[in-house]
Structure 1
Amino acid sequence: MASTLPASNNNSMKTGDTRRAPWHAFLPLWLMCAPAFLLFATLVLVPLVMTLVLTFYRFDPSSGPLAAFQFGNYAEVLKSSYFHTIFLRTFGIAFLTTLLCIVIGTPEAYVLSRMRDPYRSMFLLIILAPLLVSVVVRAFGWSMLLNSNGLVNQAFGLVGLGPYKLEYTTFAIVIALVHVMLPFMVIPVWTALQKLDPQTENAALSLMASPATTLRRIVLPQLTPGILSGSLMVFGLSASAFAIPGLLGGRRLKVAATAVYDEFLGSLNWPLGATIALLLLVANLIVMLTYYRVLERKYARSLG
């Protein structure tokens, strides 16, 4: 039996679709990306290139930076035990801060994901509250808590202990950095938990797996991307932090960021300061990329 199409369909086939494609569909892809690339180049690439060029300058105490092409600044930083100590302290503090944020932030995110509204929204606001306050204000707050007459030493005095020297120590820097960086760990882990299917946990429990085994074999492998992204952010921000190490570490406990500040604004040795900043960036990238590759392989093996 022959069938006929409705008249409306026949008309649409004859006339065709008269809708026009959007104007940006005719533009080449590189032209559409040009504004974003120009903004990125202006704000990121150009300052980096200028900093790289400055590292080859020579510093004269009487006249300031002089245009030259030499590697004296790199030799001074790489051969000096003083700068070795600064870089080891910088990455040691960043590593310890990242480790504490993982240990504290991962269970905190897991508990947060199990809460129900309105408690979850309330505790999420408490976690994000440090981001609403200036880093300088938070550093001064920790300074008042940890100084010789602060609340912490007063509490020790009530039980017959102390006073202890807590301010201008590595302990003070790490504690303040953990307080500042913890939201950057909790949010990625909490986001990864939102993608976790609760039925997988129920299936493991129904097959007589213990809660600890379920947490270790089911939950933690799926949290690895969140822990990885959070730890990368925390490590990078901690290694380049300036305000907290500068205010709570004092002049004695220098890190790379405060050393750059001193060279630029203290001795006015801009080429040496630019060299320290560039080496910090390179070392930070190497550590973060290595860490990313190692954890990525472990995550792929756990899924396999």
Structure 2
Amino acid sequence: MAALGRLADGPVKRRAGTPRRRTGLLLALPAVAIFALLFVAPLFTLVANSFRTQTGAFTLDNYARFLGDPFYRGVLWNTLRVAALTTAGCLLVGYPFALYLRGRSPRVRNWLALLLLSPLLISMVIRAYGWLVVLGPAGPVASVIAWLGLTPPQLLYNDTAVLVGMVHVMLAYMVLPLMGSLDRIDPTLVPAAKGLGAGGWTCFWRITLPLSAPGMLAGAMIVFSLTASSFVTPAILGGPKVKLMPYFVYTQATTTLDWPYAAAIGFVLVVVTTGLLLGYSRLLRRGRGEAVFG
């Protein structure tokens, strides 16, 4: 009889679980629909247009034109280089800031977090033009250099100006994941390690840094992908002298009106960036013993 009771309970439990799964699917349906409408459909259109001529015929010439031209391969390399340097700059500036926030009181953390997020409340165009004033020939940076008796270098319309502007724009996207990762570290680990004779740097390299790897990975992926596809800040601070992929997508679509070739350039950037991010994620997870994401 007990066995029959257990057999009878099985279908009841399965039937009870089915409405829950159905409810979960219904709750997720609006998000899935928005994702499909705003991301999947435009990406599919982009891919489809990249294999067409301006007359609508199927072709592979757009990709052959891009991959066969050393100039455009150099533009792709420069885009990835700027994105990598921006990511490294955000990590170098953001990690100490996140460590400092970790030990502060809630009130101080709130004020510093507001200061960190305040640039995101301002238009990206306004921020870029603000850096034009700061880095301009008559700006404060050039004035200080001239006051020291030195000749001010060219601070605008080069990779340096783009890197400074992009680090300012992307810093919050690096610090916020780092703060979340550092807050999840058990606060008793470092005192316990020091009690066993470990020094401050040993605790940092063996405990804090490895356990904050998820935040570094998340922040690096966000900053790298956003920088590689950024257009406004590089266009204003770098101008036509700084060759980046988003700028050429814009010129091909609006100046030469070659939409298929612009779609091919954009899709190449998406594929290369996604491949690098996946490779970076897998390499870091392998190096951390699959501990990065859980």
Which residues of 2 match residues 90-129 of structure 1 at below 5 A? 90-129=79-118
Distance 1:302 1:151, change over 3 A: same
What corresponds to 1:150 in structure 2? 139
| Aligned mate of 1:250, from 223, 235, 239 | 239
Are the equivalent residues in 2 in contact too, given 1:246–1:254 (CA < 8 A)?
Answer: no
Alignment correspondent of 1:286? 275
When residues 35 and 116 of structure 1 are mapped into structure 2, their CA distance, relative to the original with a 3 A threshold, is closer
Aligned length: 277
Task: Work out whether residues 285 and 291 of structure 2, in 8 Å CA contact, stay in contact via their aligned partners in 1.
Answer: no
Q: Is the 8 A contact 2:158 2:241 kept in 1?
A: no
The residue identity in structure 2 corresponding to 1:151 is P
Equivalent-residue separation in structure 2 for 1:138 and 1:68 (angstroms): 43
Q: 1:98 is aligned with what amino acid? A: T
**1:179, distance to aligned residue in structure 2 (A):** 0.7
- Between structure 1 and structure 2, the one with the greater Rg is 1
Q: Is residue 170–residue 249 contact of structure 1 (8 Å, CA) maintained in 2? A: yes
1:275 is matched with: 264
Q: Deviations over 1:185-215 (max 9, x none)?
A: 1111111111111111110011111111011
Match of 1:53 in 2: 48
- Out of 176, 198, 202, which is 2:191 matched to? 202
State the distance in 1 between where 2:36 and 2:177 align.
28
CA RMSD after TM alignment = 2.0
8 Å contact kept, 2:245–2:265: yes
Whole-angstrom CA distance in 2 between matches of 1:302 and 1:29: 28
> Against the structure 1 CA distance between its residues 143 and 221, is the aligned structure 2 distance closer, same or farther, given a 3 Å change threshold?
same
Counterpart of 2:124 in structure 1 is: 135
Q: Deviations over 1:120-164 (max 9, x none)?
A: 211111111111111111110111111222211111111111221
Counterparts of 1:273 and 1:47, CA distance in 2: 14
Could you say if the C-alpha distance between residues 32 and 192 of structure 1 is closer, same or farther in structure 2, counting changes exceeding 3 Å?
A: closer
Identity of aligned residues (%): 35
| Higher normalized contact order (CA 8 Å, seq sep 6+, divided by chain length) | 2
Instruction: Report the Cα distance in structure 2 between the residues aligned to 1:34 and 1:291, rounded to whole angstroms.
Output: 31
Query: Please, which of 37, 44, 50 is the counterpart of residue 42 of structure 1?
Result: 37
Q: What amino acid sits opposite 1:140 in the alignment?
A: Y
CA separation in 1, counterparts of 2:137 and 2:220?
A: 33
SS, match of residue 118 in structure 1: helix
How far apart are 1:53 and its partner, in Å? 1.1
**Closer/same/farther in 2, CA of residues 26 and 227 from structure 1, 3 Å limit:** closer
Q: Distance in 2 between matches of 1:189 and 1:26?
A: 34
34-43 or 268-277: bigger deviation: 34-43
The whole-number CA distance in structure 2 between the counterparts of 1:217 and 1:32 is 42
Partner residue, 1:61:
none
Q: 1:28 to 1:105 in 2, by over 3 A?
A: closer
Q: Residues 175 and 300 (structure 1 numbering): CA distance in 2 closer, same or farther, change over 3 Å?
A: same
How far, CA to CA, are the matches of 1:276 and 1:218 in structure 2? 43
Q: Counterpart amino acid of 1:90?
A: T
Q: CA deviation at 1:79?
A: 0.6
Aligned to 1:17: none
**AA matched with 2:134:** L
Q: Check whether the contact 1:221–1:302 (CA below 8 A) recurs between aligned residues.
A: no
Higher deviation after alignment, 37-46 or 96-105 = 37-46
Deviation at 1:39, TM superposition (A): 1.9
What SS does the corresponding residue of 1:198 show, helix, strand or coil?
Answer: coil
| Of 234-243 and 32-41, the range deviating more from structure 2 | 32-41
One-letter amino acid matched to 1:141 = G
Pairwise CA distance, 1:105: 0.8
